[in-house]
């Protein structure tokens, strides 16, 4: 019997029985082994976040391919895969011009998972808080040699944090970098900055505990910096954007990662922006493409440049997800990972 964590309506969470159909063309049925608890799942629970209920939560998973539909070439039954949520559609204007990182409408499997006969919206097309799920083949990438409770993190936190540094911003060796918000994604930004060869990495967070953690992950300074080349705003509030702009130096780049409140806006001081030649970039999940980036990120982990294990504060069971959200709100964990 399959089970999963479903948002029946905004604000309510339930562990329910699922029915999982066989995959159709270009789809893959995955038996989940591990799945991380991400802020975006909490965001869906609290706001809906463009996901019509009922929603099967979870979008950062790893597991074994149990079945593949027709025309699936990239993975086979028995492969251990990491599930991502930015599978390029291959059809939009950006994909067609050879820029899948800007894909506007990520590819998704059909509604193959139901609860009591009702089709479920899968969080970001994934739906990994479940014993099994069905995803598009381009969302499942074979990564066989890392423990699933670590490799699952490649699917969102790592792809977003490291991707924002290496792909969105293209941080260069010797750069001075700031990071506002030192949760799992922020810690991955810090690790990405170290991989890119940044000279200074300033960690900024209101929670002293997170600053201590940030130092362990490679931050060279804590607290605000000045004349920085890149500032990554992982929080995404107007006040953190203003704080980011104030820290940037000549030709500095603000990389906006955090999720905005629907009504949020900022005032941009045009004279300062012009004089300093500032740049503003939005990172959508690090602009990652699963098939391109997951193998490379796994390589960084194997080589010891990327510490996945230290991101996992604790492993939990599927029915502990509600409690994991509470701990996340309190800032008590980096990542809780559900092990199935």
Note the residues at the interface with Zn ion (CB under 5 A): 38, 40, 88-89, 92, 95, 103, 156
Q: CA distances (Å), 27 to each of 70, 81, 113, 134, 210, in order?
A: 8, 13, 12, 7, 39
Give SS3 for 230.
strand
Is residue 199 classed as helix, strand or coil in its secondary structure? Answer: coil
How far, in Å, are 16, 183, 192 from residue 158 at the CA level?
29, 12, 9
DSSP state of 174: T
- Closer to Zn ion by CB, 61 or 225: give it: 61
Can you state the angle between helices 208-216 and 184-196, rounded to 10 degrees? 30
Mark out the alpha helices in the chain (DSSP H runs).
Answer: 39-47, 93-96, 148-151, 157-163, 184-196, 208-216, 238-247, 270-276, 290-302, 321-330
The structure tokens 């083949």 sit at: 137
Nearer to Zn ion, 92 or 266 (CB): 92
101: phi then psi, degrees, rounded to nearest 5: -65, -20
Q: Which is nearer to Zn ion, 136 or 176 (by Cβ)?
A: 136
Of 171, 197, 322, whose CA–CA distance to 254 is shortest? 171
Of the two residues 228 and 257, which places its CB atom closer to Zn ion in the complex?
257
Q: Which two tokens stand for residue 185?
A: 């994604």
Q: How far is the CB of 318 from Zn ion (least distance, A)?
A: 17
Minimum CB distance to Zn ion smaller for 33 or for 41: 41
Which CB, 100 or 178, lies closer to Zn ion? 100
């Amino acid at each position: 019997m399959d089970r999963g964590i479903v948002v029946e309506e905004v604000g309510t969470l339930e562990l329910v029985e699922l029915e999982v159909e066989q995959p159709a063309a270009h789809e893959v049925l995955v038996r989940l082994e591990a799945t991380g608890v991400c802020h975006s799942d909490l965001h869906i629970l609290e706001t809906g976040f463009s996901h019509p209920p009922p929603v099967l939560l979870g979008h950062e998973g790893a597991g074994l391919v149990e079945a593949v539909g027709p025309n699936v070439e990239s993975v086979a039954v028995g492969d251990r895969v990491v599930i991502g949520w930015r599978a390029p559609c291959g059809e939009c204007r950006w994909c067609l011009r050879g820029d899948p990182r800007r894909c506007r409408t990520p590819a998704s499997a059909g509604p193959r998972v139901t609860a009591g006969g009702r089709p479920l919206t899968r969080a970001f097309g994934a739906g990994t808080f479940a014993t099994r799920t069905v995803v598009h083949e381009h969302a499942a990438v074979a990564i066989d040699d890392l423990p699933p409770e670590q490799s699952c993190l490649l699917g969102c936190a790592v792809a977003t944090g490291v991707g924002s540094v290496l792909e969105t911003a293209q941080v260069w060796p010797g750069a001075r970098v700031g990071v506002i918000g030192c949760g799992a994604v922020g810690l991955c930004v810090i690790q990405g900055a170290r991989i890119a060869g940044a000279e200074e990495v300033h960690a900024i967070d209101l929670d002293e505990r997170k600053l201590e953690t940030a130092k362990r992950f490679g931050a060279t300074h804590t607290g605000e910096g000045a004349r920085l080349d890149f500032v990554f705003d992982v929080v995404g509030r107007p006040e953190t954007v203003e704080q980011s702009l104030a820290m940037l130096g000549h030709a500095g780049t603000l990389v906006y990662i955090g999720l905005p409140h629907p009504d949020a806006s900022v005032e941009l001081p045009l004279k300062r922006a012009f004089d300093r030649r500032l740049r503003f970039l939005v990172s959508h999940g690090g602009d990652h493409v699963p098939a391109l980036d997951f193998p490379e990120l796994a390589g960084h982990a194997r080589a010891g440049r990327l510490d996945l294990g230290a991101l996992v504060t604790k492993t939990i069971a599927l029915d502990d997800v509600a409690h994991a959200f509470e701990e996340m709100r309190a800032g008590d964990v980096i990542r809780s990972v559900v092990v199935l």
